Structure 1
Amino acid sequence: MTIISLSESNDPRAKAALERLLQLKSQLNLSSSPMSRQAPKDMARERAACEFNIEELAKLWAGGEKKYELLQKAFEFIRSDPELVIQPPRNFLELSRDEMREFTMGQIYRATQILKDTKDKDFAMEIIRAINLYSESFSMRFFVHYALFRNVVNMLGNEEQQRRYIDDIDNFRIFGCFAMTELGHSSALRDMETTATYDIATDEFILDSPTITSTKWWIGMAAQTATHAVVIAQTVIDHKRVGLNWFVVQLRSKYTGELEPNVQIGDIGQKAGHAGVDNGWIQFRQKRIPRKDMLAKWVDLNHHGHYTPAPNPAVMYATLIPERLAMTNVTTQLISQALTIATRYGIVRRQGSKNQQIMDYQSHYVKLIPAIAFMYMVQSTSDVLNGQFNILTSGGKMDPADYLRHMGDMHAMSACLKGLTGWYGSEILETCRRGCGGHAYSAYNGISHLIGEWGVMTTGGGDNVVLLQQAARYLLHQLEQQLEFDEYPSFKFKSSIDYIKDSKRYLKNKTWSVYHASDGIKDFTVLLEAMYSILVKRLHSISMSIKKSTAEDVLLECVRVAEMHCAVFMFSVGAEKYGHPTGTPNIEPSVLAIMKKLTALWGFHVLYTYSDQGFKEEYLTPDHIKSIEETYIDICKSLRSQVIGLTDGFAIPDFVIKAPIAKYNGDIYEAYFDTLLSAPKSTGVPPYHANSVTFVYSLSLPSISDCPALPKRPLSTSVLDLRADDIKVIVALGDSVTAGLAADPDAQSLANYLKHYREDLIGASVGVDEARYCPATFFCLDPLHHPSVDHLNAAQTGATTAGLPDQVNYVLKYIGPRTRLINEWKMINLYIGYNDISSFCLPGMSPEHYGNEIYNNLKRLIDNTDNAFINVLTIERYDQLLMKVNEHPDYVKQFADKMNIRNYECVCCANGGIEKIGAQVELYNAQLEIAVDRIKQYIDGTIVDQLLGLNRRNKIAIVLQPLDMNTATVPYDATSNLDGFHPNLKTYRFASRLLWRQLFLKKSDKLRNQDFDSDAPVYCPTADDRIQSE
């Protein structure tokens, strides 16, 4: 089953996405190359060269013909179901954490329906298996609920508790999680801090998290979904700790999701993998639960407070065995996918002087083929151990004596198997990543995703070092019992330590009696003899070392020998199943032959990998090791031609693997390109370009003249679509600050920026107009304008808003009705308010009066002109500047000796100082915003106007532009040394560049509280930039 194409997708967006993909491809050169044409041929040739029946191998891998057929049917079932499999154009590997969690819970919901509605329960379970392979997050959620939560209740709960909970668990009426790990404790279970104190008066337990490190941590499904948890806690009865017990605790309402009283839960946050799993932390604050919710298969507590402990405290950890065995299944789920990707890519990719397949390089196949063999060995071993555990537990109805007798061996084997698969699995994943070169770095090719999903295997369920240390301790104890007391446990089945019964014989072996290691290919007992001899000798040597020092001094050696024990057991399972000379019943002969070869390879991999252990004991000589290595590489070489069939045996469909470079038919290059082209925003200008890219580019542009010209286009017909080169007319209204340097040829000004894009810009000038001035109470001087000099800069020195009617009258002579500029695009800039604020205490100068004057004059302006973008600038905290200048009186040469600067610049600040200005600025700016909002509403018109198209939204726009400088950072010498108030050239330069940048930013993106920088970069607008009118 191939990757789901857009044409097959059940997503309603697929049709449009397909059209876009075809359009993009039509613009590209996607002609085939010799390499791309050869790739499918190589894949077909490799598949045809297999010496075994691939489908029969797949049946063996799946667990038999029936399971194989049901699993393939299940893959077909889920493939087109959008609730179970992400359909194009969406890509599973692009989902965010929130999207992945929502999708995974949707999968859970759909899976529960399937389990309920499907009459063929075997088929239903294969559907679950198929979804597990597709989504590790789904697999983990299912695992937490079933393998952890359910297993604890089933294995540790009494019959009444099983009746009360199991049916609800199986039918998903409750969701469960497994609350063992704490922030400060994981493998060291005895140190757990969460307490469950029995209150005999109420017949309840009180759960409490007494410290920060007692917080339950990493708890899967706790953060958002689990309704219940099984919680392990230190049990306190009558003020005494009596050991660890498990409790069923409700965490949140099944119906509302709200937390139960005295339970606090939060999310662990972003993780390296398992984005669809809501790992969380839990704290209990005197949470009360009934006594009946302490799981009581092995313990008992009556309402009088009499406690009967478990026959062996270790049974309370028994659920960790199936957890670790289940985690071994994750090995086959994830690593088999990575190996399929790397192997298929290794077949179709060619390079080198001979343009050979990279799989032909020894450095490639000697890394990958033993890993493939490992997969088949893990599968066989997992089947054996799960079978043994099922015999012991009998669905939760185990015999206590039998279970306790076998538990040590099961614990040791599950621990070391989890440790070995965790570490070797990580090594394999890295090998696969490197084997795919740079393409493995693409998330679309799956391996990086698998690495993230895999990470939990090396620590989850117990740290590997700790687990292997525990396994080694068990092995050392059993060897000591055998050697000193001739004692060996009675097991129902062949144990992983079966070889210890012959330990005395193995200790007598001096060196390996085999000269040619290749003898072990035909006779696996030759290899087992060497392996068991090395294991026993190493265990014995470690035991002697411990007697002389401590176990901590030989920790690394303990870990190494436990690893080897596990690897040897895996080989012994393979040898038992596939090594019989007469064949193995129910296994097709060609499959048996290839499995025997894989088993031999694994055996030599074990001897080669752990040859240091045999060398330490002088059991293996350098010649032995050389012979082992040669045979090992020879077997790898002989299997090189079988790699495609061996990974095909995993029978994983393309849509599950998700990697275009691992397509079954080998046609990888176009598929890879299609995947990238189908991704959202894979081409074109990124949304952050205007705010970041061009801004970074402009860092090297000291002047607007360095900005490139905009590409030509017809003039805009709407104020909503204005570019800088659409503006033909610039108009200025305001006071002396606006009149200042508006178009001085050397000034960094808004007018000069616009002129860079529109050389025929009209209206720019250095304003020289003067406001109405009353030097005495009995007469005033009329305002003056100088049209030949100021053009359309009507701003007047000393102006307040009272002077705006005169300024508006003046500019309307040139841009008003029946003028030649009426239909040209105009930018009208209004910057006024300093003089109003300085006179705030005088009659008619209140903030409200200021706002009304702004509104009335702007309304009259827009009533009499058209095609205008009005830029209203906010007022800055100039009081902070004045206070800085006051600290440097010598800077202001002309007026310092004549008058107090504070009173000169603020006639209302005589009492209380210029500190009053700051509060007034906020009040006046608030009224300015109200005035602008009123103008916007006036432009929009009534609802009737809007329906009839009578409003002027396309012709007139007004924006309150924040000239938001952090005036506290403006140096005192950024003001004029004539008066210590007006800005000088470098202030104009910074303010103009800031205002220019603000023009092209949406309201939500406007720059705020910008620190002063006279060398701030100038922004170069792109063809996609528009003067923002929101």
Structure 2
Amino acid sequence: MSSEEIARKRLSAIQQQLIHSTGPADLARERANASFDVNQMKAFFAGGKEFSEALDDAYRLIQRDPELYLGDEYIFDASNAEQREVTMRQLRRYVEVKDMLKSSLRVRAFHLAMCQYSESFNMRSYVADFLFPQALRLFSTSEQYNEWIGDVLKWRTIGCFAMTELGYSSFLRGLETTATFDKKTDEFIINSPSLLSTKWWIGLAGETATHAIVLAQTVVDGKKCGIDWFMVPLRNRKTGRLVVGVTAGNIGAKCGRNGLDNGWIQFTGLRIPRTNMMMRWASVSPDGKYHPTPNPALSYAPLIGERLETIIATTLAVSRGLTIACRYGCVRRQGENNEQIMDFQSYYVQLMPGIAGLYVANIIDRITRRKWDVLVQNVDDGTIFLNNVLDIHAISAGLKGVYGWWAVEILEFCRRSLGGHAYSAYNAIGECINDFGPITTGGGDNYALMGQTAKYVLKSLKMASDGIKLEGSVEYLNNVQEALSQSSSTMMSENEILDFKFIRGALAWLLIRKAKTIETTLTGGGVAAWNDNIVHLIKLAEIHTHHYILSEYLNGLGEYESTEYKNLLPILIQMGQLWGTYVMKSLLELFLEEGYFSPSQAKMIKKVFYDLCRKTRKEAIPLVDAWALPDFILKAPFGRYDGDIYPAYLNRVRSVPDCVGVSSYWSKYVKPLTDPDP
């Protein structure tokens, strides 16, 4: 066939595709490939049939409520000020609806649906309804908690979390904001002594919050005693005006989440009662005696919950991006034979690990959140809390780094998979990327967080080497000597690669081998040696986190062996295998460097990975369908469930104000060029 004939054939195929859309038929054919019950998987992914049904009800409620539902014409064309106002309108309505629903299950489903619909709503409600009250729970005494929590839960007090400063983020010991105790008046004086001490990026501080929980250097008798938390008023509840001693404002336009009023705060001699200091762990008595916290790490405790939220944030953003990219990939046709672009290996090998990763994340979120919730419930038992908080702190830091960076990579490929159409805001990939971006660094730079995880791993490994029995996420390091006695892998077949035990064993070996090398390098080198090895330390934290993810995923699947979801286990095991080989493939350079795998074994791992991607591609649409994201949540014509994407895309564009007609600037700038002689 000549090139001219090929071109004519291709043109004819495109014409037929546009005139008689093949999208609905393509997606119907894809859905017929499912080896599992999609509705059952939908219930599983949601956390149970009852919650899945409540979520469906919540979607209907949102679409039918004129104060919650924004409409297609608004979402991508509103100004920043309009987005902030509308998001607050949604929040006010959310509080009303939540009180009406009564059932905690329905409230939880309603909140999740709203968070899926709007990332700005998600972050506003998260700060006021979760982060602020949890900080109260973790840092206040029982008396303080009972005094404040009622107004917080009823939104009479709208709180924010004022930790980071313009010049300081993850290095909390360097924060400059001060809380100086005045014995004469039994008050603390809150001050921002420099420009760099300005509280920065504080969600809700820009326009909304009435109060802030502020992290500051406690100063008594001219001496800095440590960093502690304080309840500080920001605005008058009735007028919205800033209280005397507080200067605050909105930080302005951002790359995403413009419905969230991130703000900056400066304090100038603001006086608060001594009892506004959060005194569960540290306190100052009326006579000025400072009682320090039993462990400085407790200052970071609220950030554990915030970091664990990265997993659900990953699910919210990446599930949308992957659903759009997969449906588009199965509808869009290209090439000499007009193939679905999803059938190109270069396309599906980038998307399939994303699908597998989200199923794995779904289980990890349940397990790790459950651990943290139990710990928070036991906060009154200081011994239990302190004995477990360091392990989950290291886990949360590692998960935030791993999932944050991974999600950005997946979303970037989702963007590229749409070609030039991704640059249209109306296909929503840009929104997914921009709204998720702050998660990758919020609550502490990921490099610093991974460093914290690495430090914990190195300390634990030394304890294990000294014969101290470890528990928690580092329990596998108890076998340090056994791992060091093995010089290379004995893997002989592809089936071995599919074994979770093999993957976890290889990761444990690599971590211990790299950790021992790093440990030697760091000895006696201080901060300079640490900084010179930070790239290796970050990789160490990644390996540990991946070991935790795969271990807990396998444990999580075990919980469903005797339940109504047992029929889903084959595809869920496949998801874990694909994720595991994806991780192994990403670490092959290190394995080869250490001599654990031979070149032929490395090739075998790659082959298994590509085979699993090809196998998963056949069920890509059923797998993303099970996430059950309605079209109005996706906001993207290219992600439509029915596959009829092109008419929907054109109609969306045509609905934009002033899409057609004479431009407002024609007479002023164009006409003088085109018609210079009136």
TM more than 0.5: yes
1:587 shift after superposition: 4.7
Does residue 215 (structure 1) correspond to residue 198 (structure 2)? The answer is yes
1:81 shift after superposition: 1.2
Residue 142 of structure 2 is aligned with which of 149, 152, 159?
A: 159
The amino acid that maps onto 2:361 is V
Q: Distance in 1 between matches of 2:429 and 2:670?
A: 31
1:42 alignment counterpart: 26
2:624 alignment counterpart: 647
What SS does the aligned partner of 1:318 have?
helix
8 Å Cα contact 2:161/2:202 also seen in 1: yes
1:552 alignment counterpart: 531
8 Å Cα contact 1:444/1:660 also seen in 2: yes
2:3 alignment counterpart: none
Give CA deviations for 1:840-862 in whole Å, capped at 9, x if unaligned: xxxxxxxxxxxxxxxxxxxxxxx
Give CA deviations for 1:770-820 in whole Å, capped at 9, x if unaligned: xxxxxxxxxxxxxxxxxxxxxxxxxxxxxxxxxxxxxxxxxxxxxxxxxxx
Counterparts of 1:907-946 in structure 2, within 5 Å, are none
1:579 shift after superposition: 6.7
Does residue 487 (structure 1) correspond to residue 468 (structure 2)? The answer is yes
Counterparts of 1:559-638 in structure 2, within 5 Å, are 559-578=538-557, 584-638=561-615
Residue 79 of structure 1 is aligned with which of 63, 85, 89?
A: 63
Counterparts of 1:53-72 in structure 2, within 5 Å, are 53-72=37-56
Residue 117 of structure 2 is aligned with which of 120, 131, 134?
A: 134
Q: Distance in 1 between matches of 2:668 and 2:434?
A: 32
1:664 shift after superposition: 0.1
8 Å Cα contact 1:568/1:606 also seen in 2: no
1:594 shift after superposition: 0.6
Q: Distance in 2 between matches of 1:398 and 1:616?
A: 48
Q: Distance in 2 between matches of 1:69 and 1:161?
A: 38
Does residue 536 (structure 1) correspond to residue 512 (structure 2)? The answer is yes
Counterparts of 1:803-822 in structure 2, within 5 Å, are none
Q: Distance in 2 between matches of 1:534 and 1:67?
A: 40
8 Å Cα contact 1:299/1:308 also seen in 2: yes
8 Å Cα contact 2:245/2:267 also seen in 1: yes
Give CA deviations for 1:911-935 in whole Å, capped at 9, x if unaligned: xxxxxxxxxxxxxxxxxxxxxxxxx
Does residue 657 (structure 1) correspond to residue 639 (structure 2)? The answer is no
What SS does the aligned partner of 1:319 have?
helix
8 Å Cα contact 2:117/2:633 also seen in 1: yes
* Distance change >3 Å, CA 557–CA 587, structure 1 → 2: farther
1:132 shift after superposition: 0.4
8 Å Cα contact 1:694/1:1020 also seen in 2: no
- Normalising by structure 2, we get a TM-score of 0.95
8 Å Cα contact 1:423/1:458 also seen in 2: yes
Counterparts of 1:295-306 in structure 2, within 5 Å, are 295-306=278-289
Does residue 409 (structure 1) correspond to residue 385 (structure 2)? The answer is no
Does residue 185 (structure 1) correspond to residue 168 (structure 2)? The answer is yes
Q: Distance in 1 between matches of 2:339 and 2:84?
A: 44
Q: Distance in 2 between matches of 1:91 and 1:578?
A: 42
Identity of aligned residues (%): 39
* Distance change >3 Å, CA 398–CA 366, structure 1 → 2: farther
What SS does the aligned partner of 2:336 have?
coil
Does residue 449 (structure 1) correspond to residue 431 (structure 2)? The answer is yes
Give CA deviations for 1:650-677 in whole Å, capped at 9, x if unaligned: 1111100000011001011101111011
Q: Distance in 2 between matches of 1:429 and 1:144?
A: 25
- Normalising by structure 1, we get a TM-score of 0.63
1:125 alignment counterpart: 108
* Distance change >3 Å, CA 84–CA 1020, structure 1 → 2: farther
Give CA deviations for 1:79-114 in whole Å, capped at 9, x if unaligned: 1212111125x3312221111111100110011001
Q: Distance in 2 between matches of 1:133 and 1:587?
A: 27
What SS does the aligned partner of 2:68 have?
coil
1:346 shift after superposition: 0.4
The amino acid that maps onto 1:289 is I
1:148 shift after superposition: 1.7
8 Å Cα contact 2:546/2:583 also seen in 1: yes
8 Å Cα contact 2:44/2:565 also seen in 1: no
User: Which ranges of structure 2 fall in alignment gaps of 5 or more residues?
Assistant: 1-13
The amino acid that maps onto 1:110 is R
1:613 shift after superposition: 2.1
Higher relative contact order (CA 8 A, sep 6+): 2
Residue 439 of structure 1 is aligned with which of 421, 433, 442?
A: 421
1:999 alignment counterpart: none
1:801 alignment counterpart: none
Q: Distance in 2 between matches of 1:408 and 1:600?
A: 30
What SS does the aligned partner of 1:37 have?
coil
Residue 312 of structure 2 is aligned with which of 317, 329, 354?
A: 329
Residue 443 of structure 2 is aligned with which of 458, 461, 473?
A: 461
1:1020 shift after superposition: 5.1
What SS does the aligned partner of 1:496 have?
helix
8 Å Cα contact 1:517/1:624 also seen in 2: no
1:616 shift after superposition: 2.1
Q: Distance in 2 between matches of 1:32 and 1:355?
A: 11
Residue 112 of structure 1 is aligned with which of 89, 95, 100?
A: 95
1:328 shift after superposition: 2.1
Q: Distance in 1 between matches of 2:488 and 2:600?
A: 12
Counterparts of 1:775-794 in structure 2, within 5 Å, are none
2:492 alignment counterpart: 515
8 Å Cα contact 1:80/1:87 also seen in 2: no
The amino acid that maps onto 1:213 is L
8 Å Cα contact 2:379/2:385 also seen in 1: no
1:300 shift after superposition: 2.3
What SS does the aligned partner of 2:375 have?
helix
What SS does the aligned partner of 1:433 have?
helix
What SS does the aligned partner of 1:91 have?
helix
Q: Distance in 2 between matches of 1:486 and 1:237?
A: 43
1:208 shift after superposition: 0.4
What SS does the aligned partner of 1:278 have?
coil
Answer with 112-121 or 634-643: which moved more.
Answer: 112-121
RMSD between superposed Cα atoms in Å: 1.6
**Structure of larger gyration radius:** 1
1:201 shift after superposition: 0.3
8 Å Cα contact 2:310/2:403 also seen in 1: no
